[in-house]
């Protein structure tokens, strides 16, 4: 196999990695000579700067020494493995990049023997791209379990984003999911190093003059973790380690793995977790404020911000003329941008009704049950159905 054939062979497995708010996109332009008749794992991704761009999502190797119970790459699973050499991986990506099909790359790998050796291969690939080929665009590098601090630092110097897959929110859950991995020593420690380097080594910035952002991923629904467990971990990761994003990868059973008889995750649960994690990261909510059921999970039939508002704002609506920014953001239909727009609008005039809110980008009908405008609840046109 040449490099492009290897990339194509890995395509069916790449949905396991959730990255950059991805959307799957057509493989490549039909007239791109290097990709004709081939399908690659290319995704339309939301980058840290907000831009949406196509990136190649690939593995350096599908060989793995670990036996994670849910994973298609687990060591005991029988299928054909593919492994790149660093220059081969860099050249294969570069061909697709030059064709115009992609503008970035997310590079991960199975654990080839141990995390240190595998991390060296990923770093070698990144060095070739950046320093030999002059690649300037987006690069997301995975940090392997057990990577050393100097490897983490070098990854941060080369990448626009780095990530570590924590996979589970607690040691007990990780033992069920991936019994050969150690949560604190192998997975969480590199994320702590990332934050330490960003905080203490400001004089030595990373690629493009700044340190990269960081993310992680949990596998949801394979074992008995609750939403409380996941969101407690997310709160620590975003507030203390300043991760840009926590991803929730929905469990789907894979044939010939110990969990092949499991039930795929209800995607409403994934959606509620994302909504709650954004409320923690961006809106000032804390874990204790969410309406968890007795099993520790969020209700599936209502988004958590609306559920909180019905409990706390239905009888005590927010006065838009006096409320602080943080209180405005707790109203359904008002996000950070809408809250700032309301505060700015108050300085030059008065809000008179829902029409004014719509002009400011607020979802006025969603907000209306929980607000006061000029001291009164706004009139809402009722629908027939």
Instruction: Please tell me the distance from the alpha carbon of residue 360 to that of residue 345, in angstroms, as a whole number.
Output: 8
Phi, psi values for residue 108, rounded to 5°: -125, -170
CATH classification of the domain holding 7: 3.20.20.70
Residue 169 belongs to some domain of the structure: yes
What count of Cα atoms within 13 Å lies in the side-chain half-sphere of residue 281?
Answer: 19
| Residue 380: per-residue pLDDT | 59
Residue 207 and residue 333 in one domain: no
Residue 383 belongs to some domain of the structure: no
Residue 356 belongs to some domain of the structure: yes
Q: With contact defined as beta carbons under 8 Å apart, do 106 and 20 qualify?
A: yes
Residue 284 belongs to some domain of the structure: no
Residue 212 belongs to some domain of the structure: yes
pLDDT digits (tens, 9 = 90+) for 18-51: 766 654 444 443 334 444 446 888 888 877 677 8
Residue 192 and residue 320 in one domain: no
Q: What is the pTM of this model?
A: 0.90
Give the domain range for residue 175.
3-265
3-state secondary structure of 56: strand
Task: Please state the domain count of the chain.
Answer: 2
Residue 279 belongs to some domain of the structure: no
Instruction: Please tell me the distance from the alpha carbon of residue 161 to that of residue 167, in angstroms, as a whole number.
Output: 18
Of 208, 232, 265, the residue at which a domain comes to its end is: 265
In this structure, what token pair is assigned to residue 35? 């990709």
Q: How do the residues of the chain divide into helix, strand and coil, expressed in percent and rounded to 5?
A: 40, 15, 45
Residue 242 belongs to some domain of the structure: yes
Alpha helices by DSSP H, the chain:
3-10, 86-98, 115-127, 149-158, 171-177, 189-200, 227-239, 267-282, 304-312, 325-328, 336-348, 354-359, 364-367
Instruction: Please tell me the distance from the alpha carbon of residue 353 to that of residue 345, in angstroms, as a whole number.
Output: 13
Residue 358 belongs to some domain of the structure: yes
Residue 145 and residue 206 in one domain: yes
* Residue numbers of the chain with a pLDDT score lower than 50: 23-37, 381-385
Residue 230 and residue 360 in one domain: no
CATH classification of the domain holding 350: 1.10.150
Residue 215 and residue 333 in one domain: no
Which class for 176: exposed (0-12), middle (13-18), buried (19 or more C-beta within 10 A)?
middle
């Amino acid at each position: 196999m040449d490099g492009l054939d290897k990339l194509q062979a890995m395509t069916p497995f790449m949905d396991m990695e959730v990255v950059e708010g991805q959307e799957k996109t057509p493989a490549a332009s039909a007239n791109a000579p290097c990709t004709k008749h081939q399908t690659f794992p290319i995704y339309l991704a939301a980058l840290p700067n907000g831009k949406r761009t196509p990136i190649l999502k690939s593995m350096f190797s599908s060989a793995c020494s670990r036996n994670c119970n849910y994973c298609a790459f687990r060591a005991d699973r029988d299928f054909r493995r593919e492994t790149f050499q660093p220059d081969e991986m860099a050249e294969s990506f570069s061909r697709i990049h030059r064709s115009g099909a992609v503008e970035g790359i997310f590079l991960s790998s199975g654990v080839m023997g141990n995390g240190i050796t595998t991390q060296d291969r990923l770093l070698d690939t990144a060095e070739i791209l950046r320093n030999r080929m002059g690649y300037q665009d987006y690069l997301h590098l995975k940090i392997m379990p057990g990577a050393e601090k100097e490897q983490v630092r070098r990854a941060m110097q080369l990448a626009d984003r780095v990530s570590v897959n924590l996979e589970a929110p607690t040691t007990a859950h990780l033992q069920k999911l991936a019994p050969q991995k150690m949560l604190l020593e192998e997975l969480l420690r590199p994320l702590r190093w990332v934050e330490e380097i960003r905080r203490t080594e400001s004089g030595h910035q990373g690629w493009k003059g700044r340190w990269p952002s960081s993310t992680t991923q949990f596998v949801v629904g394979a074992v008995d973790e609750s939403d409380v467990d996941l969101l407690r971990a997310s709160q620590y990761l975003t507030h203390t380690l300043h991760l840009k994003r926590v991803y929730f990868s929905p469990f789907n059973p894979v044939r010939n793995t110990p969990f092949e008889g499991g039930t795929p995750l209800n995607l409403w649960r994934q959606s509620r977790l994302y909504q709650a994690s954004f409320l923690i990261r961006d809106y000032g909510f804390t874990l204790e404020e969410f309406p968890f059921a007795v099993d520790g999970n969020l209700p599936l039939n209502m988004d958590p911000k609306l559920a909180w508002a019905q409990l706390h704002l239905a009888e005590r609506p927010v006065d838009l003329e006096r409320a602080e920014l943080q209180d405005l953001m707790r109203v359904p239909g008002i996000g950070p941008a809408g809250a700032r727009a309301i505060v700015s609008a108050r300085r030059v005039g008065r809000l008179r009704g829902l029409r004014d809110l719509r002009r400011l980008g607020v979802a006025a009908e969603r907000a209306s049950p929980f607000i006061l405008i000029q001291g009164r609840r706004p009139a809402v046109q009722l629908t027939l159905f």
